[in-house]
Structure 1
Amino acid sequence: MTRPRVVVVGSANMDLVATAPTLPRPGETVLGTDFVTVPGGKGANQAIAAVRAGADCAFLGAIGSDSFGVTLKARIAASGVDTSHLRVIYGASGVAVIVVNADGENTIVVTPGANGAYTGLTETELSTVREADVLVAQLEIPVETVTRAATEARAAGTRVVLNAAPGRTLPAELLDAVDLLVVNEVEAQELAGAGRDNPEALLAVVRRAVLTQGAHGAWYGDRDGTAVHVPGIRVETVDSTAAGDAFTGALAVAWGEGRDLVDAVRWASAAGAACVRRLGASVSLPQRADIDALYAQA
């Protein structure tokens, strides 16, 4: 099978991850049990997820000139992602401070750093977007940058997958360029007033959409009348931080390989389930064999 060409435009963060029995409440100090420092950010995570799922993937984004930036680039490249277009911007890299409880639930605070200054896509970057089979984007970088990449991709016939996270109201120009929207329940509510009871509301703003529901699975619908719920796969949850990124990266690969979208969502759900079994965002992103094994059990 030919490996699809996926381009991810998005964020790169250094994730500072602490585990604790419970998540701290305001004003409360909780004694933690473990700490790891791993590359993260939705863009970097989804790029690594795409490579591990079977794609050739280039990452367009920005890191800072600090030591975190050096480490981020080296570790993303070591994962097999093409980082030749990754910009270095003077100042701090993006950082995410994450606390994970005993049930695998988390709280996350992200400071954008260089991600917030990633604007003005160059002709070389735009050419890379146009040559892809699938473009994947998120909203941890300026929405103007995402919009430019998406509209260029759409004009060139490149499929556009938007993981609209963090949730927000989006410009019509961007929504018109999206071929497939991926959101969780919080993001769906913010974008379209949609939820588990009315996921079809997403189709008022995009032509195809996936609503992820954690352990409960995912819903896929389109304007041609398809509406399918894909059940979740039961696994022991250690850390759910990157589950959505594993899902989105795998979904882009499956679609780029030519699977129909309902089957692609099923395979992506297996990727999300495989991801939650390990601690640390980029560390937990599953290999293709792990995805196939859970998909076969679904």
Structure 2
Amino acid sequence: MKKLLVVGSINMDIVSNVQNFPLPGETIPSTATSFFPGGKGANQAVAAARAGGSCTMIGAVGEDPFAETLIHALYNNGIATEHVLRKKGTSGFAIITVNEEGENHIILSEGANGQLTSDDVAASVGNWSNVYAVLLQNEIPWETNLSVMTSASGSGVHVFYNPAPARPIPEHVFPLIHTLIINETEAAVISGLAVSDPSTAAEAATWILAKGTKNVIITLGEKGCFYQNAQGESATIPAFRVKPVDTTAAGDTFFGAYTAASANGLPVEKALTFAAAAAALAVTKAGAQSSIPGKAEIEAFLLSEKKY
């Protein structure tokens, strides 16, 4: 089985449910508080592992009580955690307040994620032999991401990149990226083009591919996803119709599931359909990692939809 390496963030999501958001200076009761292991890097590692990928996590946690819980959440999903480093200070965490209408306020503290250096990653990787792809996001320092991209690409390892939270990509970085997976907002930030449907997604993908990236996938919510590669081949995969409960980890689930399917040899369109099914299942459950489906559940869903 080809190995996947995830370099990215590991957070604890602290979610409090309230009737209404407090006014400045006001103290209000919470109807419930939950703790969910999260962080885009960790979520994507869990999604890849549950989808059948052989996955190793490189990241950082702090010295607080959350650290062991976060590491065990990865380990219990079959992810190799020997390269999850301990840093001084706190682990990354998000304080999330959700009102009765489902709206949220989020305060994100990067904690140990902000201390993950390129030297840390280089020491953890050693060499890139037997690695099929590295998965990257934007919740660790940019300098670390860039170093990983350069080293991986130069060693013939696929770079799968999800630039979230969204930020522009420097010109010289596009050729380092094997597969760029983005949503409409991220596509607009990167290309400067408004994206709302497969037609406009094709325009943005063409712009990105001209910069040197080999494959572009743009997720379009209920309109499915659009794929195009440097050879001009393209595909539009419709979304599965489900009743959403919580969309928190949908993008991370798609990213991890697609990468695992690709590593395991599925052709692009089948891998995209597999990832779309995984994301659809994820939005039917609450929480981040707790909502991510396993391979058997994804395959059963695809069979029920006559897509497998």
Q: Would you say same fold, with TM above 0.5?
A: yes
**How many Å apart are 1:68 and its aligned residue?**
1.4
TM-aligned CA deviation for residue 150 of structure 1: 1.5
Structure 1 residues 42 and 129: CA distance shift in structure 2, 3 A? farther
- Opposite residue 8 of structure 2, the aligned amino acid is G
Contact 1:46–1:248 (Cα < 8 Å) also in 2: yes
Q: CA deviation at 1:286?
A: 0.7
Q: 1:156 to 1:174 in 2, by over 3 A?
A: same
- Structure 2: distance between partners of 1:212 and 1:26: 36
Q: Offset at 1:70?
A: 2.2
Query: Match for residue 114 of structure 1?
Result: 112
Q: Give the secondary structure class of the aligned counterpart of 2:216.
A: strand
- Could you tell me which amino acid in structure 2 is paired with residue 166 of structure 1? P
1:17 to 6, 15, 18: 15
Q: Give 1:96 deviation, angstroms.
A: 1.4
CA shift, 1:120, in A, is 2.6
Q: Is 2:153 the counterpart of 1:154? A: yes
Computed over aligned residues only, the root mean square deviation of the Cα atoms, in angstroms, reads 2.3
2:235 is aligned, of 228, 236, 239, to: 228
Q: Name the residue aligned to 2:226.
A: 219
Residue number in structure 1 paired with 2:171: 172
Q: Is the 8 A contact 2:13 2:38 kept in 1?
A: yes
Supply the distance in 2 between the matched residues of 1:193 and 1:95 (Cα, whole angstroms): 31
Q: Which segments of 5 or more consecutive residues in structure 1 lack a partner in the other structure?
A: none
Partner-residue secondary structure (3-state), 1:134: strand
Partner of 1:57: 55
Of residues 276, 281, 290 in structure 2, which corresponds to 1:283? Answer: 290
- 8 Å CA contact 1:139–1:163 kept in 2: the answer is yes
1:188 corresponding residue in structure 2? 187
User: d(CA) in 2 for partners of 1:31 and 1:103?
Assistant: 17
2: distance between equivalents of 1:186 and 1:20? Answer: 28
For residues 23 and 192 of structure 2, the distance between their equivalents in structure 1, rounded to whole angstroms, comes to 28
Partner amino acid for 1:213?
Answer: L
Match of 2:271 among 256, 264, 268: 264
Aligned 8 A contact 1:209 1:220 in 2: yes
Q: Which amino acid aligns with 1:196?
A: S
**Per-residue CA shift, 1:63-117, capped at 9, x if unaligned?**
1111112221122212211110111110011111234566766554321111111
Which residue does the alignment assign to 2:95? Answer: 97
Structure 2 partner of 1:131: 130
**Residues 59-68 or 92-101, more deviating:** 92-101
8 Å Cα contact 1:58-1:81 kept in structure 2: yes
The amino acid of 2:168's aligned partner reads T
Aligned residues of 1:211 and 1:219 also touching (Cα < 8 A): yes
CA drift of 1:19 comes to: 4.1
SS of the residue aligned with 2:168? coil
Alpha-carbon spacing, 1:25–1:268, altered in 2? closer, same or farther (3 Å): farther
The worse-fitting range, judged by mean Cα deviation, of 254-263 and 192-201 is 192-201
- With 226-235 and 177-186 compared, the bigger mean Cα shift is at 226-235
* Residue 216 (structure 1) shift: 2.3
- After superposing the two structures, state which structure 1 stretch, 239-248 or 192-201, moved more: 192-201
Pair member with larger Rg: 2
Q: How far has the Cα of 1:129 moved from its partner?
A: 4.5
Gaps of 5+ in 2: none
Aligned partner of 2:75: which letter?
Answer: A
